[in-house]
Structure 1
Amino acid sequence: MANGQERARENLVAFQRWAATQTDDDFKQIVFRGQLNRGEVAKAIGIGKSALRQNPAIKSALEHLETDLREKGVLPPLTESAKQQRSEPKPYDASAKQRSLESKRLSVLEQENIELKARVATLEAKLKRYGELSEVLTEFGVAP
């Protein structure tokens, strides 16, 4: 059984072999959001997507491949914001989960509020109708 380092080297060789056999048109078929679709690349090579992210050699080779493809015009050029996002780590937002939960709760409460308003309107219409019926019965001397 191969250890982690051997497996990483095998994956790198598999990536390099795959990249060498692809044409520009093949790469164009798997472009997603301005870069190569990681899932499709991993499937074609026969490795997990995690290897593309976690194996530094494959990650570097993939970035180099994408840079070459951008120079050839196969991939669109990176925007300034994309370049900046690549160089800076994404800031952690501790309150994101809380905001998400509050947003879901707000949505549920708004839906419930709409349903209750509709129910109140229906009941008020019924009450008005029965109020008129009660007045008619009182006029005829039949006390409810």
Structure 2
Amino acid sequence: MSNGQERARQNLSAFQSWVATQTDDDFKQIVFRGQLNRCEVAKAIGIGKSALRQNPAIKTALENLEQNLRDRGVLPELTETAKAQRSEPKRYDPSVNQRAMESRRLSVLEQENIELKARVATLEAKLKRYGELSEVLTEFGVAPDA
């Protein structure tokens, strides 16, 4: 069983071998939102997607590869917003979980509301029918039980 450092070197070697076998057209096939699709890259190499983010050597090699591809015109240039986002750390938003829970709850309530509206419409139709029946019975002199 290999330790983490050996595994990291193996993953880097696999990444470098994969890059060497790809053409510009191959890279164009896996572009997603202006960069290489990390899932597709990881699948092609046979490593976990986390290795692309956590292994500093692979992370640097991937960034260099993408910059090289941008220079050759394979990938689109980064916008100013994207450049600013790369240099700044991601801000933690504590309200994300709360919004997600509220969103799920809203979906459940909307579904329940739709079901209740359908039920009300059905019951109103039945009430209308029974109201007409009550009127007919009253006209014939038969008093319905209240």
TM surpasses 0.5 = yes
Aligned to 2:28: 28
2:6 equivalent to 1:9: no
43-52 or 79-88: which moved more?
43-52
Q: TM-score of the superposition, structure 1-length normalised? A: 0.89
| Matched residue type, 1:44 | A
1:64-83 to structure 2, matched below 5 A, reads 64-83=64-83
2: CA distance, partners of 1:35 / 1:16: 18
Deviations 1:12-65 (A, max 9, x none): 122222212222122112212211122222222222221111110110011001
1:1-144 to structure 2, matched below 5 A, reads 1-144=1-144
**SS of match in other structure, 1:143:** coil
Structure 1 unaligned segments of length 5 or more: list them: none
Distance 1:26 1:129, change over 3 A: closer
Identity score, percent: 85
2: CA distance, partners of 1:141 / 1:85: 81
2: CA distance, partners of 1:10 / 1:106: 47
Structure 2 unaligned segments of length 5 or more: list them: none
